[in-house]
Amino acid sequence: MIPSSSGSWGAAENAAGEQAIRLRHRLGLLRLLANLGPLFGNLGTVACMVESLRQVATARGCCIDWSPALVTTVWVLLVAIVSSVFYFVLEARAKALEFGLSAAAMEMVRRLKPAAGTRPQRPIQ
C-alpha cells in the first residue's frame, strides 16, 4: 500500500478524479438523449394528430375542430425539450465549476500543509 503522503499517490488520485468527472459528463449526455427521445416521439405523434383532426374537420364539414385541444400539448412538449437541454447545459457548467473549486481548494491545502519533517509553528499569543 502506498502511503497517502506520497506526491505520486496524490497525482494519481487527481487524475482518477478527473477521469471520473469526464465519464459522468458523458453519462449525462446519454441521459439527456434518453430523455429527449420519447419527447420528440410524442411531439411528432401529437403534431400529426393535430393535422389529421384538422383535415377530418374540414372534409366532413364539422363545426367542431378538436385540433386546438392538442396544440397546448405540442407547446408543452416543446417547452419540455428546450428545458431539458438548458438543464443539461447548466448542470454541466455547475459540475465544471464545482470541480475547479475543489481542485483549487486541494491545491491551497497542499500549499498550506507543512512540509514533511518540519514542526508546525506555534501560534503567537
The chain-wide mean pLDDT, for the chain, equals 79
pLDDT band at 121 (very low <50, low <70, confident <90, very high): low
Cell numbers given for 21:
468527472
d(CA 110, CA 103): 10
pLDDT band at 99 (very low <50, low <70, confident <90, very high): confident
Question: Is the per-residue pLDDT at 106 higher than 70?
Answer: yes
Q: What phi and psi, each to the nearest 5 degrees, are found at residue 70?
A: -90, -10
pLDDT, one tens digit per residue, over 39-61 is: 999 999 998 888 888 888 888 77
Nearest to 75 by CA among 52, 51, 42: 42
**What pLDDT does residue 123 have?**
67
